[in-house]
Structure formats: structure tokens, C-alpha cells
Amino acid sequence: MAAPGENLKINGERLWDSLMEMAKIGPGIAGGNNRQTVTDEDGEGRALFQKWCEAAGMTMGLDQMGTMFARREGTDPDALPVYVGSHLDTQPTGGKYDGVLGVLGGLEIIRTLNDLDIKTKHPIVVTNWTNEEGTRFAPAMLASGVFAGMHTQDWAYNIEDAGGKKFGDELARIGWRGDEEVGARKMHAFFELHIEQGPILEAEGKDIGVVTHGQGLSWTQVTVTGKESHTGSTPMPMRKNAGLGAAKILQLVDDIAWSHAPDAVGAAGHMDVFPNSRNVIPGRVVFTVDFRSPTLATIEDMEARLAVGAKEICDEMGLGIEIEKVGGFDPVEFDEGCVTAVRNAAERLGYSHRDLISGAGHDACWINRKAPTAMVMCPCVDGLSHNEAEEISREWATAGADVLMHAVVETAEIVK
């Protein structure tokens, strides 16, 4: 396949303006975004994305999980499309670029090809995957997981948020539940541009991360049960303190992750304390342990040690414990051909680059099971993400989208 010329570049100002426009929808309280999945704000962001795609001459497909597929025709309508995209939903205290850069970077490719009247043999489809974050409705990468056959749609529709609302009902309520069968689409390849969400690229002064692998993820929900009682009048020896039990288990999680340093991480980001009253000993604490590592054996070891150690802590304290696996995926190795297209693009464009293992999970991790897949990463300031202060430079956004475009266009085959 002929590679595009090094002077094929996206319009960085237009991309940046679109990022800032999208960031106005579902604003956070500290400069970032709170555009959680299948909320009204998610619906608004989807409508803006659809408007932009239609203005760029694309036709929009929508599947039964609400994933959006904006298609630019190729010269060979029978050729499998090259897909490119990410997600528009954010964390509650999310940044402006996590996921959004990958969706709008894909749109910018189309806008640039239109400007230059460049045609490709394969159609190109820009994708917004529903509920990548898995915050309001766990697990993460929900729609891409259903697309890849990892979850049933029925199971996904019945996942409830903290308020007892079901995912499928909320998707229908915001008007973005499509008719298309999930997973029926066949792909020639899939590419995703994403901010690194870690410190390596910035620290090494690299413009581009050529993502060869994604570390695996394990989410374990732990429920510790004690007995509510008065924090003032209950003698210490009589307490069944689920809060203390949870704290000891969180220390165990940290110890387990450190024991595998530097190739493992562990923490709990979600925790519900019941009844969460200042003068009541917690009777129940529910939290989700997030373990990650590039090595499956390490993840399995961490899960096993958590199960044994947490039970020992609760037995010793006379507390009840339930442990349930609620999400996860094995470490991912991306397609060598697609990874090479990304690396060659960075080389051709003169951007500094290095191979990288993704620390975070992405829709590409599931889609890699359905089609040849690779990711492009750009640095982010201080490696900070899942924080409203998440920041990138215009130059990093432009370099990432340039490399993404070259990999996509080379794979979609330019027609002279």
C-alpha cells in the first residue's frame, strides 16, 4: 500500500476548536467535563458530533448499544471499511481530551480528506463507542465489549446505576438506542488515538506513543459486612466495624500491587459506606478493587492473594465478606501490521516516538479481538487524567491526529 506523502497534515486549529466546542457540553466544576454515559449531556455531545459528521458528508449508523458509526464512502463500496474512533463519555471529574481526542481526531481526518479531495479505496468509519468509562454503569468499555461478544446485550441493558436506573432504559430515554445489530459490522482495521494518561511520553520528550500492548485489567467488587452501632456508646471490643475492615483490605491491595512493582498497580476508586452517617459504625462497605498489569499471571496472583487475605482480615474481625469479579480483560497485543503503520507514520512525519504499553483500558482493547487494531498516543501534562485539570498541547493533539490520519489513510489505500 502506498504511504501518504509527509506533507499530508490535518488542520490543527480546526481540531482544537472542535475539542473546545465539545468541551462546552457537560462542563465540570473545575474546567474539565462531566458528560457521563447516557445522560442528557451525553445526548447533547452525540448530537453535536452527528451534526459535524453530516456537515462533512458522512452518513450515520447507530447500533442497539448506541454506538455511532459515521461513514465516508470509499471508491470500492464492497471493501471493508477502516474504522477510527474512541469515546465521547467522560468521568464525573473528567478531562476535555480522554476519548474525545480520538473521536474528533477521526472526524478531522475526514475534514482534511474532503479539503484535499483525497479518495480512498476502503470506506472510513468514525466511531463513538458508548460507555467506555464504565463509571455510571460498570464495567468499562461496555459497548465495545458487547460488539466483541464479551457481554450479552441483554446483560448490558440491565446493568443498574447507583440510582437503580437501567442502562438500556437510559439509552432509550436520551433517544440514542439504534436498530442496528451490535457486532454485525465487519472491519478491515481499527485505529484509536488517545492521550497517554501517564507520564512517560512527556518525561521522555516524545511526541507519539506507538502502542504495542495494553495492560490487562481486573475489577473485583468486595462487600464487607459488620454491624451498625453508635460511634460514641459502643465499647471498642464490641464493634463490628466494616469501615475498618475495608481500610485493612485497601492496605492489603496496596501491599500486593507493590509486591509486583513496577509492573503492577492496584487501588480502589469506588467505595460506598453504609449508612454513611457521622455517628454510626459502618455496617456495610462496598468497594471495587482495580488491579492492572501487562502480565496475566501477575493479575491472577493479585486476585488470588486479595481473596485469601481479605477473608483472613474479615474472619479475624468477625466481619462478613463477599467477593465478585465485576469486570476485566486480559493483556492485549495489538496487530503488528497496524502498529507498523503507526510507527512508520510517526517516522515519515518526523515526530519523535517510542513503543508504549497502554496503562489504561480502551475500546481498542476489545476491538482487537474483532479486527487488526492499533493505537496512537500523545503526551498529557504531568501524565494526569481522570482529573478535570487534564491538559494537552495543541502541538501534541496535532501530531497525534497527523499520525492517526497517515495510518488510517495508508490502510484505507489512497486512490490516485
| Residue 361 makes contact with ligand HGY by CB under 6 A | yes
Alpha helix locations (H) across 130-279?
142-147, 153-157, 167-173, 200-204, 242-259
Q: Is 356 in the site for ligand HGY (CB under 6 A)?
A: no
**Chain residue at closest Cβ approach to Mn ion:** 99
Contact residues for Mn ion, defined by CB under 5 A: 98-99
* First-to-final CA distance of the chain: 12
Shortest CB 386 distance to ligand HGY, Å:
7
Q: How far is the CB of 90 from Mn ion (least distance, A)?
A: 7
> Rule CB under 6 A: is residue 132 a binding residue for ligand HGY?
yes
> Which entry of ligand HGY, Mn ion, none binds 140, CB below 5 to 8 A by partner kind?
ligand HGY
Residue 105 contacts which entry, ligand HGY, Mn ion, none (Cβ below 5-8 A, type-dependent): none
> Cβ 290 to ligand HGY, closest distance in Å?
7
For 200, list phi and psi in degrees, rounded to 5: -65, -50
Among ligand HGY, Mn ion, none, residue 412 binds (CB under 5-8 Å by kind): none
Asked if 133 touches ligand HGY (CB under 6 A), the answer is: yes
**Rg of the chain over all Cα atoms, to the nearest angstrom:** 22
CB of 99 to ligand HGY, least distance (A): 8
299 binds ligand HGY (CB under 6 A): no
Nearest CB to ligand HGY, comparing residues 85 and 134: 134
Adjacent-strand bridge partners of 223: 286, 322
Choose the binding region for ligand HGY from 133-141, 200-208, 236-244, 309-317 (rule: CB under 6 A): 133-141
Q: Which span sits near ligand HGY by CB under 6 A: 76-84, 130-138, 174-182, 234-242?
A: 130-138
Residues paired with 288 in a beta bridge: 221, 270
Sheet with 265-274: list strands edge to edge.
265-274, 284-293, 216-225, 320-329
Binding at 99: pick from ligand HGY, Mn ion, none (beta carbon under 5-8 Å per type): Mn ion
| 402 contact, one of Mn ion, ligand HGY, none, CB 5-8 Å limit per kind | none
25, 346, 360, 403: which one binds ligand HGY (CB under 6 A): 360
Least distance (Å) between residue 111 CB and Mn ion? 22
Residue in 176, 167, 143, 189 with CA at minimum distance from that of residue 60: 176
Choice between 296 and 308, CB closer to ligand HGY: 296
Q: Phi and psi at residue 146, in whole multiples of 5°? A: -65, -40
Q: Which is nearer to ligand HGY, 159 or 281 (CB)?
A: 159
Nearest alpha-carbon partner for 158 in 178, 138, 141: 138
And the C-alpha cell for 23? 468541551
Alpha carbons within 13 A on the beta-carbon side of 197: 22
Instruction: Give the Cα-Cα-Cα angle 200, 214, 162 (nearest 5 degrees).
Output: 100
Out of 4, 45, 134, 283, the residue judged to bind ligand HGY by CB under 6 A: 134
Query: Is 140 among the residues that bind ligand HGY (CB under 6 A)?
Result: yes
> Is 166:106 a contact under the CB 8 Å cutoff?
no
Q: Which residue has the cell 515519515?
A: 348
Q: Per CB under 6 A, which region of 128-136, 173-181, 236-244, 298-306 contacts ligand HGY? A: 128-136
Contact 372, 338 (CB under 8 A): yes
Nearer to Mn ion among residue 99 and residue 145 (C-beta) = 99
- In the bound state with ligand HGY, the residue whose beta carbon lies nearer, of 95 and 226, is 95
> Are the CB atoms for 248 and 321 separated by under 8 Å?
no
> What is the per-residue DSSP string for 70-98?
EEE--S-TTSPPEEEEE-----TTB-SST
The least distance separating Mn ion from the CB of residue 159, rounded to whole angstroms, comes to 18
State the residues that interact with ligand HGY by CB under 6 A: 132-134, 140, 360-361
